[in-house]
Amino acid sequence: MLRAMKHTIWIGTRKGLFALRSDARRRTWRLAGPQFFGHIVHHVVQDPRDPKTVLVAAKTGHLGPTVFRSSNRGRTWKEASQPPAFRRAQPDETPKAVDIVFWLSAGHAGERGTWYAGSSPAGLFRSEDAGDTWAPVAGFNDHPMLNVWVQGPGTPIGQLLHSVRIDPRDARHLYLGVSSGGVFESTDGGADWRPLNSGCAADFLPDPEQAYGHDPHCVEVHPARPDRLYQQNHCGIYRLDRPGERWLRIGTSMPRRIGDVGFPIVLHPTDPDRAWVFPMDGTSVWPRTSIGGKPAVYHTSNAGKSWRRLDRGLPRSQGWFTVLRQAMCADDREDRLGLYFGTTGGEVWASTDEGGSWRCLASHLPEIFSVTHAR
């Protein structure tokens, strides 16, 4: 049944929302859009519990951030009646306002209608009505340690809260990542949090064993083995097998000339040993493009013990790709998994043989922030 359904690749860009739609065989793709023309679309997520529902995190250059919701797979949209917003500051507090809704995650399968959002400046928000109204998660946003854990400006667009992950076995077990903060875990539904960064390098911090302040780019919990986490960090690729507490740097097995710096990491939907990354140049002034102008995806099938380069069909030279953390995804075809990524140069590339070969599906789009799969 699933194999017969069509595929949609939602593409969030600096100038609006696009969609690539294909038949079930993923051979012919048609580009549609833009919707929300001129809006900055940071994330687009289909609800796996209710596939007709899609949420979009957006803002414009002038207007404040918001969330749009569709209940018909993106044909029409309604704005959230109460977008994510921090609580009103007390007189002795520094006021904070959401500048960007950066990240969206559907909640636990057993809590239909719940969603989480991450913002810049770093904040966590929860909706219980399919994204119509949002409330701040006080356990994180008002945590007494937050201003210690997360310091500095973070990225050029601020401290980003991202990678909100829910343990499929327990709705109260949450993980999230914060740029210039690290990975954090809650086991009580977000009421309290603790850092989970042991083993992660932070070359920019004076103390190599500091508990927080790290820069995770993307954190994933494997859906079939939720005790296994993967992380693409500013300083390497890591794996954590719970109940362990210390991340293992699996990026050291990448070729030295490639390194293990990048933004996204994508997991196989059913095999916890398989993952794909898109390395970028993190040398000297941090160009953050494909190393040597030769874009490639790297794949592990043994949980990071070794990696294989996959670049057939990608440019052989002068291919200066940057792929942001939300701009790479997999589809759900387990027999021949599809992989997709979008570049800041406005191209979308796809593979329908698990990265073995690539072709360009779209060009000349605006800067791409988000590439996600939907059925």
Residues contacting residue 311 through CB under 8 Å, at least 6 positions apart? 294, 295, 296, 297, 358
Closest approach, Cβ 368 to another protein, in A, equals 16
Give least dist CB 12 to another protein, A: 17
Three-state DSSP state, 266? strand
Closest separation in Å from C-beta 97 to another protein: 4
Torsion sign across C-alpha atoms 83, 368, 262, 223? positive
Residue 38 CB, nearest distance to another protein (Å)? 8
Q: Site residues (CB under 8 A) for another protein?
A: 60-64, 66, 79, 81, 83, 85-89, 95-98
**Whose Cβ is closer to another protein: residue 37's or residue 207's?**
37
Nearer to another protein, 28 or 94 (CB): 94
Residue 83 or residue 251: which is nearer to another protein going by CB? 83
Cis peptide before 121 (omega within 30 of 0): yes
Q: Is 47 helix (H, G, I), strand (E, B) or coil?
A: coil
The least distance separating another protein from the CB of residue 88, rounded to whole angstroms, comes to 7
Q: What is the Cα–Cα distance from 61 to 76, expressed in whole angstroms?
A: 23
DSSP character string of 49-86: TSTT-EEEEEE-SSSPPEEEEESSTTSS-EE-SB---P
Provide the minimum distance between the beta carbon of 99 and another protein in the complex, in angstroms, as a whole number: 9
Give the integer Cα–Cα distance in Å for 297 and 307: 10
Nearer to another protein, 88 or 364 (CB): 88
CB 101 within 8 A of CB 83: yes
Nearest distance, CB of residue 263 and another protein, angstroms: 21
Residue 52 CB contacts under 8 Å (≥ 6 apart), including other chains: 70, 71, 72, 73
Query: Strand runs (DSSP E) across 159-317, as ranges?
Result: 161-166, 174-178, 182-186, 194-195, 216-221, 228-233, 236-241, 248-249, 262-267, 275-279, 297-300, 308-310
Indicate the residue among 158 and 293 with the shorter CB distance to another protein. 158
Nearest residue (CB) to another protein, 88 versus 256: 88
CB of 319 to another protein, least distance (A): 24
Given the complex with another protein, which of 65 and 195 has the nearer CB atom? Answer: 65
Residue in 177, 158, 176 with CA at minimum distance from that of residue 234: 177
- Specify the residue, 13 or 22, whose C-beta has the smaller distance to another protein: 13
Q: Is the peptide bond before 243 cis (omega within 30 degrees of 0)?
A: yes
Helix (H, G, I), strand (E, B) or coil at 363: coil
**135 alpha-carbon distance from chain centroid:** 21
Question: For residue 77, with 0-12 CB atoms within 10 Å meaning exposed, 13-18 middle and 19 or more buried, which class applies?
Answer: middle
* C-beta of 86 vs 189, nearer to another protein: 86
Burial class (CB in 10 A: 0-12, 13-18, 19+), 163: buried
CB of 85 to another protein, least distance (A): 4
